[in-house]
Amino acid sequence: MTSLSVAVRLASGAVSRVSGPGAGATEGLVGARVPAYGAAVVVVTGVLQKEAWDRDVMPPVEKVRPGVWSIPVPIPDNPLRYVLVYAFELDNGIAIVDAGWNTDDAWSALNNGLLEAGGSIADVRAVLVTHIHPDHYGLAGRVREESGAWIGLHPADAEMLEARYIETDDLLARMREFLQDAGVPPTKLPDLNFASMMIRGQVTMAVPDVLFEDGRRVDVPGWDLQTVWTPGHSPGHVCFYSDEHRFLLSGDHVLPRITPNIGVHTQQFPNPLGEYLESLLKVHNLEVDEVFPAHEYRFSDLRGRLDAIIVHHADRLAEIERLIAEHPGSTAWDISVALTWSRPWHEIADFMQRAAVGETIAHIVLLENHQRVRREGAFPARFHLVDQP
């Protein structure tokens, strides 16, 4: 069974028990094919970006196509290191895709990058935000204040802004209940519940001026950027596709080395992993020569990378089924602690542990929807395999 057929069955059909390669990524040489999850490969096109990644330094500002620039903007205290802001030259200024965190270092990096590209913050006419997370949306409001640019966001993310960044009491109360139902120990509950509040200051709250519509061309004169709605990482995540130039600005939807967090939480769709897998199939059908991701480095062979990501999630579903078979009645917390991660559980920061629990539950929900797993009780819910005919 191919990994693409696995995805179709996971997203819209019966889930089969899938075995396959392990979930560890291995990095190769710059310019070479890089194994991804042991199953497929990507071809690195952002050679300077990959060299910088391997040396643990910031990549340079680059002109990646005629009229298109890649500007790395640092993320504080985060293993992702930076977000790649893409600047498009216009007749009357610049349009940018994503903006970066609202920190002074990020603001300086964005300013300096635009200057190197021949413009300035004052020249920005549009900020196209791929999704609501602070490393993408955080500086959008500050850019608008400086330049008068319009801000665009998908409505599914736009409707979450106030609850996430302004009036957070209800969100925190619902998150606490969610974590209790997941079986988070009482000693860990306060730390995980408040883990995301520290990043609120890294966002300048800004209501979008434009709401993106799936399949519609964005008003960026001189560029054929089409909105591709790709829910999963966030409900309103979007990519931007150029049919003329055959590139995809993938945001966090498809990255060359890691997979985005796809987690259940109080501001997500009920089945985010199912949404994500269907979104992968959506971009699979595009004719793409090069992917411009929001993190790490540019690459080609989009379909090979999609194949590898799908196999990774199939393997994860199989691992969770195995753990539930071995330990019936486990909570989502129990399963999360027992799963294979990139580092030991005790070394994972509270915020990332919370994201990991949400990701575990996203896989469990998909298994529940396909009658592989059932839950019993609440606060905490416990999980068992469903007897198969």
Q: How confident is the model at residue 201 (pLDDT cuts 50, 70, 90)?
A: low
Average pLDDT, the chain: 87
Find the DSSP H helices in 182-234.
189-193
CB neighbourhood size of 104 (10 A): 7
CA–CA distance, 89 with 175 (Å, rounded to integer): 42
Find the DSSP H helices in 229-349.
272-284, 302-326, 332-338
In this prediction, residue 216 carries a pLDDT of 97
CA–CA distance, 127 with 85 (Å, rounded to integer): 10
Say which CATH class 44-298+315-385 falls into. Answer: alpha beta
Q: Which is more confidently placed, 37 or 137?
A: 137
How do the domains of the chain map onto residue ranges? 44-298+315-385
Q: How confident is the model at residue 203 (pLDDT cuts 50, 70, 90)?
A: low
In terms of Cα–Cα distance, which of 378, 348, 50, 354 is closest to 197?
A: 354
The structure tokens listed for 338 are 């027992």
Give the CA count within 13 Å in the CB-facing half-sphere of 52.
18
In this prediction, residue 42 carries a pLDDT of 85
Phi, psi of 47 (to 5 degrees): -60, -45
Q: How confident is the model at residue 349 (pLDDT cuts 50, 70, 90)?
A: confident
Give me the mean pLDDT over the 205-211 stretch.
92
Please say if the pLDDT value at position 32 is more than 60: no
Please say if the pLDDT value at position 6 is more than 80: no
Give me the mean pLDDT over the 255-266 stretch.
91
Residue 36 three-state SS: strand
In terms of Cα–Cα distance, which of 204, 219, 193, 195 is closest to 136?
A: 204
Please say if the pLDDT value at position 355 is more than 80: yes
CB neighbourhood size of 220 (10 A): 17
Give me the mean pLDDT over the 362-381 stretch.
95
E strands, the chain, where? 33-36, 40-44, 62-65, 68-74, 82-90, 93-97, 124-128, 150-153, 210-211, 225-229, 238-242, 247-251, 290-293, 299-300, 373-376, 382-385
In this prediction, residue 165 carries a pLDDT of 66
Please say if the pLDDT value at position 388 is more than 80: no
In this prediction, residue 265 carries a pLDDT of 80
Distances (CA, A) of 43 to 21, 32, 310: 20, 6, 18
Answer yes or no: are the C-beta atoms of 290 and 254 closer than 8 Å: no
In this prediction, residue 9 carries a pLDDT of 56
Give me the mean pLDDT over the 119-144 stretch.
95
Q: For residue range 33-53, what is the model confidence (pLDDT) as tens digits? A: 333 333 346 899 999 999 999
Please say if the pLDDT value at position 56 is more than 50: yes
Answer yes or no: are the C-beta atoms of 254 and 343 closer than 8 Å: no
The lowest-confidence range among 49-58, 101-110, 259-268, 321-330 is 259-268
